[in-house]
Amino acid sequence: MESNQSKKSVIQTFSHLDQAGKATMVDVSEKIVTRRTATARSIVFLPDEVLTQLIDGDLQTKKGSVFQTAIIAGIMAAKKTGDLIPLCHPLGLDNCKIDIQLNSKNEVIIDCTATITAKTGIEMEALVGASIAALTIYDMCKALSHDIVIKETRLIEKTGGKRDFKRA
């Protein structure tokens, strides 16, 4: 059985909990402004019945270009991250780019890179952008198959702030 002391030390490791264990927005007022960049990746598996609709590296539907719509949706979502995730700071992005590629395993690789010069990181914006781009692909292709799988979304790299990170 865990002691209260070990529970307390676990709670203190979460940045969005105060000393009493209650949710709080992180106070960034004392942090320095730095250029921060984050790249997140979502991977979407597309079954053959969807891939047969591939034309010139994109899927075309009655709603339009699937990949171009996913790019726009991802950028829009990244800009709204502070509205979607309760304890995220509202940020004005300096830049947001989404790249979509198809690999040989029937997977769509979505990379979202967000950049800002600010006191707080931009990882959540990159993760939200990649996630919503993946969900948009699912939405636009679901009429062809419900075997589409959003396999993963994860941080690939971040720079700026306390420490940099790069997935090996």
Q: Write the pLDDT tens digit of every residue in 75-124.
A: 999 999 999 999 999 999 999 999 999 999 999 999 999 999 999 989 99
| Domain 28-166 = CATH 3.30.70.640 | yes
Domain boundaries, given as residue ranges, for the chain: 28-166
Give residue-wise pLDDT tens across range 24-74. 778 788 889 999 999 999 999 999 999 988 877 888 888 789 999 999 999
Threshold 0.85, pTM exceeds: yes
Catalytic (active site) residue 139? yes
Residue found by looking up tokens 């993760």 in the block: 127
Q: Which one from 48, 139, 147, 164 is the annotated catalytic residue?
A: 139
